[in-house]
Structures are given as structure tokens and as C-alpha cells.
Amino acid sequence: MRINFSAALAALLLTLCATAAAADEDGYDLWLRYRPLDRTAQANVQSQARSIVLPGAASPTTQAAVAELQRGLAGMLGKAPAPASRIADGALLLATPARLPELAAVASPLRAELATLGNEGYLQRQTRVQGHNVTLIAANSDIGLLYGAYAWLRDAGTGARLEASSAPKLSLRLLNHWDNLDRTVERGYAGQSIWDWWALPDIKDQRYTDYARANASLGINGTVLNNVNSKPEVLTAPFIAKAAAVADVLRPYGIKVYLSARFSTPLELKETSTADPLSPEVRAWWQRKADEIYKAIPDFGGFLVKANSEGQPGPQDYHRTHADGANMLAAAVAPHKGIVMWRAFVYAPKGAHLADDRARQAYEEFKPLDGDFSANVLVQVKNGAIDFQPREPFHPLFGAMPKTPLMMEFQIAKEYLGYSTDMAYLGTLFEETLESDTKTAAGAVANTLTGMAGVANIGSDRNWAGSQFDQANWYAFGRMAWNPQAKARDIAAEWAALTFGPDKRVAPPIVDMMMISRETVVNYMTPLGLHHIMGTGHHFGPAPWVDNLERPDWNPVYYHRASRDGIGFDRTAKGSNALEQYAPEIARQYADPKTTPEQYLLWFHHLPWDYAMPSGRTLWAELLTRYDQGLADARSLHARWVALKPLIDARRYTEEEQRLTRQVNNAILWRDACIAYFQSVSGLALPPGVQAPAHPLDYYKSLSYPYAPGRG
Ligand code: GCW
């Protein structure tokens, strides 16, 4: 028998390659996996990086950039070039005007372009330098070079064309950790806090460096280490030393450390007799405290504050305003160039007169203060007026405080969207909110944004985010904080290629799944503008029937207002008139249910069950259709994933398959419980073809989840 050795060898190699491509991954590497490229891509990348050249002395930041390039090239090509000191053909050259004076020379064609890129931007160019053909990554600062290096690696990994140049559109791009000092995480679904406060400052986990790399690769430049429901201890000397140790690790990556401050800290530490922001004793205390922090962390970013909200102390306890409180802290950090991010997430304190619509309160408290805040205060506003719902119209404060810099706060952790079990790609949620301005002449959102904050979904789970697909939400947040006009689909495509490889049979179908995933969740949880009908406290699962909580505005019935006559919250002039807080064009459009986008219908209107929808169905029938659609799409997500099984490593495949199966069950639960409940209220029959819920309403009411995760 003759053996065709070359054919056998080829077959063997093919099998090996297929096995290698499908090798199990645990997700720790995030989107920085740097797996081997195919031959053509390798040749292309190699030709751009025969050597890595950095003129001038290395800094911790350029060291990080060069190390990342070497790591990436070693992974993608099998071997990394050593750093070289001489510019030669094929060099990957990292240069700032200070490092390569010819970039600063009047004759340099890049001089003008560099001048537009600010401190953090970068450009990439195939060009000639000192007589050699090079790939140039140029920036005005070392941090720009680091961002440029990550962008170049991203392009190399996805086969994208080099971006000519890029600079962040927002200056503050921050993660907010809701991490407690005992390592629990409020609304955290990815294990314990990554900050091991007990072991710090002596023990600095390698994870902190990998966290810095991942965030720098997206351009995130700040992180608030602790929960906005803060404790006084975080501002004591031992914790300042711990925060300083984290800051030391993050600094080379351009990431500043911030802390959430509890307003009554000096009083609770028994170092003052009051926390009144106008008391000289209190002001002096905060000034000393700021000085102490800056001694340990010279580039400390500043404070994030949740005040007079959900039981947190604040200036109103002393009959002072939010501006009085924020400005007092701002004065303490101003000499050090620090900032204060003061949150607008407030609603009436217990016992106080309740506004007739919780959605109105932040605007009512903050709008009159426009112009009263110090220059280094930003007001941080959640994307919507209620609370990180699967869908909310944008917060009316955007566009309403022209004299105050506003930061938009998104929640990357999916407190209300199925935790880290259900797939819900938030890129589409971010995009929908951020592009709101194109829909109004008042230019509501983008024009007022100066920063973006994302409540982190990061924990100590091996895969960081609780699930592989939740990594995409961290990724999308970072990319959109850099460029709020970026498109959710483009970002998903980038992430999918980096995370699962550029194979055209894999990444595009994954992107399609991601793009429908959040709408799927909206449909099976809160279609047509419904909101806040989740289980009490943990916010898992349906509980539209809850009506007995201590505050009316904690009850789902307060929000959906369903009764025999109809469903929805009337926020028009006939109702709470929350609409008057929006720009006139929007208020007019949304005042009429016929011109209100269907997705916000029941957010703004209370309508009869037989209201005629554009589909020709009654509102009742439309609601049922949406619940069915949500369930059908959840099933489709699962089926699409199963079809990808041969192309995805077994470990990540199985992890997600299990989650998608559970998501189908969650969708059934939501659909059936909501239909059972709304039917009990409307008294209407289910139209033919609509399947009755599997159980009677009382069954759903009896379910409880005392150990659901995520409580602080
Ligand atoms: O969404 C709610 C959460 C609280 C959170 C609060 C806030 C940190 O349920 O857990 O507290 O918002 O944003 O302050």
C-alpha cells in the first residue's frame, strides 16, 4: 500500500489546526486574546512590525505599550520583534513630538494633524521617516501612544484597515464600581469584588494589571473603586494607602483612581460635630482630608457622591442644597485639580412629601441649581429618569442644565436585565440613548455630555463579567465613552471578531444575535414602555402585582397603573406632566399617543385595552404579541448558538448554551406571569392562538428568591 505522505501530513495539520482553533478558553484574556492569525493576515501584520522602535527614554506608559505590542505580536505571529533603537524599514515606530523632533518641525505634514488630537489622541500612518518606510503611531503624549498601540493591535486582530486618527470625544471615561469594602458587590453578578481590600496595599493581584490593560485598550481613563453607598472608613488612612496601591498599578495605563465619599464621613468618624457643608469645621476637615489623599495619590481624580438618596446622608439634612454640598467638596479638591461628580439619582426621602411621579424628582431638584455649581463639579445623571430599566426614554435633565457639565451614567451590570445569565448586548441601549440628540432640535444629549460613567460588571470570576457575552457590555461602554457616536453594530462586530476570531462563519452570526438580544429582553420583560415591574429588592423576575411596599414608588403597580380601564403611566399634562420637563419638540411629539414612539407608549400614556395600535391590533393583543415575540426570540438566540457549536471551543460554547437555555426559561416565566397578571386585571380573554400561561397567577405570586445575588 502506498501512503501519500504529504496528503496525510496535510490532513494531520488540518486536524491539529481545527483542534487548536477550538481549544478551550475560559475568557480571562477578554478581547486581548491575540490568537494566531491566518497566513495572509500574518504576512500583512509582520510587514508593519519588523521591529518596534521608541525614540527617547522609556516611561512606565511606553513600557506598557511596547510590552503589549510584543505580547500581541507574539500571539498573532508566533514571535515578537525585539525593541530596536534604530529606525529601519518595516519598523513600527512610536513617537511623540518630544521623542521625535521632526514631528514637531514646521515642515512636518503631521504637525497640524497632531495638534487636533489633544493629549490622548493618536494617529497611525504608513509613511517615511529618516528615509525608511515605517508604520508610525504618533501622539502628543505617552498615553496617546499606548492608546495608539492598542488600536493598532485591534486592527491587526480584526483585519480592519488602520484608522487614520482618533481622539476621545469625552474627557472623562469612567467605571464606577459598586464594590464594598468586604468584597461584596452591590448589583454585582461576577463574583466578589476584584479589589482585595484586606490584602492591599501589600498584595497587588496580577488582575489589577490585567484590568488596567483591558480598560486602557478601550480608552477608559478613570475608575471609582468603591460603592456609591459608601462607608466612612474608605477615607481613613489605611484605606487611602490601599487605594494608593491600586492607583500605582493603574497609573501607567492612564487610569486615575476616584473614591465614593459618604457625605457624613467626618461626623461619623467623630472628627467633627456636624456634617453641615457650610460649617467651617466641616470645610476644614474635608480640606485636610483632600490634602492627605493627594499626598498618597498625587493624581487622585476626586469624589463621586450619592447624597440624599435612598437613605444616604446629604446636604439637605442641614437644609442646604445639592450645590452647597458639592461645592464644599469641590473646594477641598480644587487646589489639587480634583473634581466632584455629584449624582442626580435622587428621590423623595422617606416620610417626605412624595412627588406624584418619581420620574420628575431629579429634574425638580437639580434644574433650579443650574449655574450654582463650582467649575470642578459635574452632575452625574442616569441615562433615564427612573432606574436603569431595560428601556427608558432619556433623562430630561440632559439638555436642561446648559451651565452645568453633565455626565451620563449607564449601568453595565444588568441589574434589571437578567443579571449575567441572560444575553442582552447593551451597545444598542447605549446607542439609542446617545443618539437621542439627533431627534431633537434642542440637541439634548450629546451636546451636554462631558463624560460617561458605567457601573461596572467586573468581578473576580475567571471571565471577569460573569458570562462571556457580558464582556461585550464592558467593551461597548468603553468604546462608546471614547466615541459616543460609534455604532453598536460596528462595536459588536469588533468585539465578536476579537473574542471568537475573525471567521466569517462565526463573528457575523454572533453579531446578529447580540443585536437582537436586548430587544428580546425588553419584549419578554417590559414591552411598549412598561417599566419597574420586577421583583422587589433583588429585581429578578416578574412581580407586576406588588402593591404593598412602604413607599408607593417602590411598587410595580405604581408604574404600570393597570386596571379594568387600561394600562400605562400618564405623564402628559392630564397626568403627572413629566413631559413638560423635556424640550418642547419632544414634549409635543410625546404628548399624543399617535406620535409617541411605540417603545415608549406606556411610559407616557395610560390607554384603554382596546386602544388601536398601528399594527391593527388592540393594545391588549399587541402586549401579548410582544411577550410572545420576546419568548420566540429567546428561543431563536438559543437555536442560533447551538448552530455555532462546531465552530466554538467547547468550554465557552457550553457556558453560553446553559445560559441561553436558562434565558428561555426566564422568558417563559416573564411572559406567563405577566400575561396571567395583566389578564386578571383587564378581565379580557386571550385571543385565539395565544397560549395560556402554564400556571395560575397565584403560582407566580408564590415564587420568591431570597438568595438572589447582587445585594450590597
Ligand atoms: O438601581 C438602584 C439600585 C441600588 C443602587 C441605586 C443607585 C447603589 O437598585 O442598588 O445603589 O440604584 O444608583 O444609587
Ligand 1 midpoint to CA 186 (Å)? 8
First to last CA, the chain: 71
Q: How many CB atoms lie within 10 A of CB 613?
A: 18
User: 65-110: per-residue pLDDT in tens?
Assistant: 999 999 999 999 999 998 899 999 999 999 999 999 999 998 888 9
> CA–CA separation, 643 vs 521, rounded Å?
21
Q: Which residues pair with 341 in a beta bridge?
A: 304, 378
In CATH, what number does 32-166 get? 3.30.379.10
To test the pocket of ligand 1, the residue of 189, 387, 389 to mutate (highest count of ligand atoms within 8 Å of its CB) is: 387
The CATH 3.20.20.80 domain(s) of the chain lie at 172-486
Ligand 1 pocket residue status of 633, Cβ below 6 Å: no
Ligand 1 midpoint to CA 457 (Å)? 14
Cis ω before 201 (30° cut-off from 0) = yes
User: 105-157: per-residue pLDDT in tens?
Assistant: 988 889 999 999 999 999 999 999 999 999 999 999 999 999 999 999 999 98
Lowest pLDDT segment from 250-259, 260-269, 346-355, 625-634: 346-355
> CA–CA separation, 526 vs 515, rounded Å?
18
* DSSP string computed for 366-382: HGGGTT-S-TTEEEEEE
Ligand 1 midpoint to CA 706 (Å)? 18
Ligand 1 pocket residue status of 392, Cβ below 6 Å: no
pLDDT at 621: 98
User: 596-616: per-residue pLDDT in tens?
Assistant: 999 999 999 999 999 999 999
Residue among 388, 674, 355 at smallest CA distance from 546: 674
pLDDT at 188: 98
pLDDT at 5: 47
Q: Which atom of ligand 1 is nearest to the CA of 416?
A: 1
Could you name the CATH architecture of 172-486?
Answer: Alpha-Beta Barrel (3.20)
Answer yes or no: is pLDDT of 546 > 70.
yes
User: 648-692: per-residue pLDDT in tens?
Assistant: 999 999 999 999 999 999 999 999 999 999 999 999 999 999 999
pTM beyond 0.85: the answer is yes
Residue with cell 475568557: 27
Ligand 1 midpoint to CA 187 (Å)? 8
Query: Quick one: CA torsion of 442, 446, 450, 452, rounded to 10 degrees?
Result: 130
What CATH number does domain 525-569+606-702 carry, 3.90.480.10, 3.90.1330.10, 3.40.190.10, 1.10.645.10? 3.90.1330.10
Residue among 183, 246, 178, 240 at smallest CA distance from 211: 246
Answer yes or no: is pLDDT of 231 > 90.
yes
Atom 2 (ligand 1) nearest CA: 387
User: 366-424: per-residue pLDDT in tens?
Assistant: 999 999 999 999 999 999 999 999 999 999 999 899 999 999 999 999 999 999 999 99
Q: Which atom of ligand 1 is nearest to the CA of 228?
A: 8
pLDDT at 436: 78
Beta strands in 591-669, from DSSP E residues, in sequence order: none
Atom 12 (ligand 1) nearest CA: 387
Ligand 1 pocket residue status of 178, Cβ below 6 Å: yes
Ligand 1 pocket residue status of 388, Cβ below 6 Å: yes
Ligand 1 pocket residue status of 479, Cβ below 6 Å: no
> CA–CA separation, 401 vs 301, rounded Å?
23
> CA–CA separation, 712 vs 302, rounded Å?
23
**Which grid cell is 20?**
487548536
- Give me the active site residues, please: 310, 387, 415
Q: Which atom of ligand 1 is nearest to the CA of 409?
A: 13
Answer yes or no: is pLDDT of 351 > 70.
no
Ligand 1 pocket residue status of 409, Cβ below 6 Å: no
Ligand 1 pocket residue status of 416, Cβ below 6 Å: no
With bands split at pLDDT 50, 70 and 90, how would you rate the model's confidence at 13? very low
Ligand 1 pocket residue status of 536, Cβ below 6 Å: no
Ligand 1 midpoint to CA 575 (Å)? 27
**Between 319 and 444, the higher pLDDT residue:** 319
Ligand 1 midpoint to CA 362 (Å)? 14
pLDDT at 149: 98
Ligand 1 pocket residue status of 410, Cβ below 6 Å: no
pLDDT at 7: 47
Residue among 189, 149, 191 at smallest CA distance from 166: 149
Are 686 and 692 spatial neighbours (Cβ–Cβ below 8 Å)? yes
The CATH 3.90.1330.10 domain(s) of the chain lie at 525-569+606-702
With bands split at pLDDT 50, 70 and 90, how would you rate the model's confidence at 159? confident
Ligand 1 pocket residue status of 305, Cβ below 6 Å: no
Average pLDDT in the 7-16 region? 46
pLDDT at 22: 75
Q: Give the chain's mean pLDDT.
A: 94
Ligand 1 midpoint to CA 185 (Å)? 12
pLDDT at 350: 52
> CA–CA separation, 58 vs 55, rounded Å?
8
